[in-house]
Structure 1
Amino acid sequence: MSANRWLSTGNYFTSYKEEQRIFATHLDRSVLLCFLAVLFAWPLLFEVSNKQMFVIDNIMIAMIAVVGLNLVTGFAGLISIGHAAFVGIGAYTIASFARLLGDTHMVLTHGWPALIVLAGFMGALFGAIAGLPAFRLKHLYLAIATLSFQMIFQWTINFMDFFDQGQTISVGRVFWVTGRVGRSDHYLFWYYVILVIIVLVGFGVRNLLRTKYGRCLVAVRDNDRAADAMGMHPGLTKVYAFALAGFLAGVAGALHAYLYRGVGIESFTLHHSINYLAMAIVGGLGTLSGSFWGPLAIKVLDMQVERLSEWTGGHLAVATNLATALKPLSFGLIIVLFLMFEPRGIANWWRIVRSYVKLWPFRY
């Protein structure tokens, strides 16, 4: 790497430590810090409605969940069709405390940071359990095993009285240093909480991928027999990939419970598992940035298609059936198009833009 860490060009490294740096140049670090400063400052500078902030919070929670799914599917190469179940486990961890202690108990309202971490560990526990079939199964068979876990989760919630048979379980408002978070500040407060968690998760996963444990995930994905011959344990690697994915999904589920101030089974169905998988595919499997681009793209697409469906149903009476079919049609079409024409997802577009900016005005 060039001695000038601000505008270095090329990929010349003299040590593995240089190659594994998070930021190749000081310019990269400065741009990221400025971007984070903008993310933290803009809600204070511009007026944002509760509805808009609610949508943004949902997108950010999906980002945390998709980072976990990308660890197990993108980096470890294991198809998971039950990721919404792990998110639901995190949410129902919070709901369990609400049922046992009451939705306004001090543990829920004041100890929410500890409960979010606990929900993550519960997701990791069940993620490891769901990943145990990876010792003997792979590919389609493992995908069916994760689908079975999703079905078991839904059945358990729907038929247990403790979880109110899938009906909404209320969760109280939390307290912060300034006191109880009111209705007008609810979504803004959780925006900052979720944003801090995203930053921590992003740096945590980026550093994980630099370690031997992160390289084990990629090695097992590429060739598990070769990884086994090099001293890695493919089975244990797959299980801890599921555990990591479950932890992040559990955290996302806990944030969902607090954001919605309630937990219901309709938010953690098979449809949502497919939705998470689509976000990972569209964003770019095996890329950290793709875990952020995918949820943003899918959520924005859903909103635009929903508006188009409302307009179509209101102005064209004969097109009512078309309006109903627009959302699933666009959802399936976008996945097929990305798989056919851009299998590396939006993250590849981001890579091309960065390379162009870095090399401009040279072509190569």
Structure 2
Amino acid sequence: MSANSWLATGNFHTTYRQEQKTFFTSLDRSVFTLFLLILFFWPLLFPLSNKYMLVVDNILIAIVAVMGLNLVTGFAGLISIGHAAFVGIGAYTIASFCRTIGDSHIIVTHFWPVLILISGFVGAAFGALVGLPALRLKHLYLAIATLSFQMIFQWVINFMTFFNQGQTIFVGRVFWFTGKVGRNDHYLFWYYIILVIVVLLGFGVRNLLKTRYGRSLVAVRDNDRAADAMGINPGLTKVYAFALAGFFAGVAGALHAYLYRGVGFESFTLHESISYLAMAIVGGLGTLNGSFWGPVAIKFLDLQVEHLSEAAGQYLPSSMNLATALKPFSFGLVIVLFLMFEPRGIANWWRIAKSYTKLWPFRY
């Protein structure tokens, strides 16, 4: 590798320690630090209304969920169509505490970081349980198994009185060092909390992929028989891939419950599972930065389609119900176009742009 870490035009490693570094060059580290500073300070310099701050918070929560889905589908190669159910398990873990001890109990309002962590572990437990069929099932059969878990989750939530039969279960406002988080600061407060969690989990995934446990996911995805011959246990690897995905989804569900101050069934349906899968595909399966690009692209698309529907509704008759038709149409069209013309997702565009800046002015 170049002796000057600022002027390096390529990554040439002579030791394993160099290959396992989080940032290969000083320029990479500086750009990432600047990007983090922008993320932390822009809400203070350019404040948004609660409506748009909620959209930003939803994007960050989707990033947490898609990071987990990318681990099981992108890196381990296991199709999961029930990811929203895992997110719902995290949310309903918080709801269970609210139903049992009250939504304004000190445990719910003051010890919320502990409950978020517990929700992640509950999601991991269910993820490992659902991952057991992966010991014998592959491809479409495994997809049907995860779909059945989604259906079972929906049936349980809709028919159990403990979960209020899918109706909203309220969650109390949390407390911080400065006291109770008020209504005006609610979305800004959770923006910073979710952003910190995204950064920590992102570093966790990046470092995991450099260990033997992360490499085993890729090995099992590429060829599980060859991985077995190299000493990797394919069955155990598949189960812990589902467990990791369940943990990320459980954390995302808990954040969703606290952000909306309530848990309702409609946020964890099959449609949401398809949305998470679409985010992973559009962002780029098997890439960490794809977990960031996908939710941003899909959520931004939803917002723009909503604005377009409102503008068109002023000129078209209400009987056309353009908003109902335009949203699923644009959603499906984007997925089909990406599958046809860019199956590696937006992450591939980022890879090309990044390699160009590193190797400029050379063509290759």
TM range (shorter): over 0.9
Equivalence for 2:216: 216
Q: Following TM superposition, by how much is the alpha carbon of 1:21 offset from its aligned partner in structure 2, in angstroms?
A: 1.6
2:152: which partner in 1?
152
Q: Which residue in 1 is equivalent to 2:329?
A: 329
CA contact (8 A) 2:90 2:251 kept: yes
Give the superposition deviation at 1:109: 0.2
Cα RMSD (Å):
1.0
The DSSP-based 3-state class of the residue aligned with 2:314 is helix
% identical aligned pairs: 78
1-structure distance, mates of 2:219, 2:314: 53
- Residue 258 of structure 2 is aligned to residue 250 of structure 1: no
Q: Is the 8 A contact 1:87 1:250 kept in 2?
A: yes
1:313 deviates by 2.5
Say if 2:228 is the partner of 1:228. Answer: yes
Q: Distance in 1 between matches of 2:11 and 2:186?
A: 46
Corresponding position of 1:351 = 351
TM-score, length-normalised on structure 2?
Answer: 0.98
Counterpart for residue 93 of structure 2: 93
Question: CA separation in 2, counterparts of 1:15 and 1:319?
Answer: 67
> Retained in 1: the 8 A contact 2:11–2:24?
no
Conserved 8 A contact 1:312-1:319: no
Aligned to 1:239: 239
Deviations 1:308-355 (A, max 9, x none): 122222212288154431111111111011011001100001111111
Residue 48 (1) aligns with residue 48 (2) = yes
Would the aligned equivalents of 1:312 and 1:320 in 2 still touch at CA under 8 Å? no
Shift of 1:268: 0.1
Map Cα deviations across residues 213-267 of structure 1 (whole Å, 9 max, x no partner): 0000000000000001111111110000000000000000000000000000000
AA partner of residue 325 (structure 1): A
- Cα distance in 2 for residues equivalent to 1:280 and 1:95: 27
Q: Does residue 362 of the first structure (1) align with residue 342 of the second (2)?
A: no
Which residue is 2:35 aligned to?
35
State the distance in 1 between where 2:122 and 2:352 align: 39
The CA distance in 2 between the partners of 1:241 and 1:323, in whole Å, is: 38
- Is the Cα–Cα contact under 8 Å of residues 10 and 359 in structure 2 kept in the other structure? no
Change (3 A) 1:21 1:261: same
Q: Does the Cα contact within 8 Å between 1:313 and 1:319 map onto a contact in 2?
A: no
Could you tell me which runs of 5 or more consecutive residues in structure 1 were left unpaired when the two chains were aligned.
none
> Which residue of structure 2 aligns with residue 197 of structure 1?
197
Q: How does 1:122-141 map to 2 (within 5 A)?
A: 122-141=122-141
Shift of 1:24: 1.0
Q: Determine the C-alpha separation between the residues in 2 that align with 1:323 and 1:113.
A: 38
The 3-state SS of whatever aligns with 2:182 is coil
The answer to whether the Cα contact below 8 Å between 2:158 and 2:165 also exists between their aligned partners in 1 is yes
Question: Residue 20 of structure 1: CA displacement?
Answer: 2.2
Paired position in structure 2 for 1:109: 109
CA contact (8 A) 1:122 1:250 kept: yes
Distance in 2 of aligned mates of 1:186 and 1:85: 26
**1:117 partner letter:** L
User: What SS does the aligned partner of 1:11 have?
Assistant: coil
Cα distance in 1, alignment partners of residues 187 and 306 from structure 2:
22
Which deviations, in whole Å up to 9, do the C-alpha atoms of 1:141-187 show, x marking residues without a partner?
A: 00000000000000000000000000000000000000000000000
User: Residue 179 of structure 1 aligns with which residue?
Assistant: 179
Map residues 301-316 of structure 1 onto 2, 5 A cutoff: 301-316=301-316
* Shift of residue 5, structure 1, vs aligned partner: 1.1
Query: What TM-score results when the alignment is normalised by the length of structure 1?
Result: 0.98
Q: Is the 8 A contact 1:72 1:242 kept in 2?
A: yes
Tell me the residue number matched to 2:4.
4
User: In structure 2, what is the Cα distance between the partners aligned to 1:190 and 1:43?
Assistant: 12
Aligned partners of 2:39 and 2:327: how far apart in 1? 30
Structure 1 residue 47: Cα displacement: 2.2
Q: Give the Cα separation in 1 of the matches to 2:190 and 2:10.
A: 41
In 2, the alpha carbon distance for the partners of 1:22 and 1:199 equals 13
Letter in 1 for 2:39: L
Residues 1:318 and 1:186: Cα distance change in structure 2 (over 3 Å): closer
Residue deviations 1:294-318 (CA, integer Å, cap 9, x gap): 0000000011111112222221228
Report the Cα distance in structure 2 between the residues aligned to 1:177 and 1:10, rounded to whole angstroms.
46
Mark the runs of 5 or more structure 2 residues left unpaired by the alignment.
Answer: none
Say whether the 8 Å CA contact 1:279–1:291 is kept in structure 2. yes
What secondary structure sits across from 1:315 in the alignment? coil
Corresponding position of 2:161: 161
Q: Which residue of 1 aligns with 2:292?
A: 292
How many residue pairs end up in the alignment? 364
Q: 1:69: which partner in 2?
A: 69
- Deviates further, 68-77 or 311-320: 311-320
Q: 1:362, 1:53 → 2: CA distance?
A: 42
Q: What residue number does 1:339 align with?
A: 339
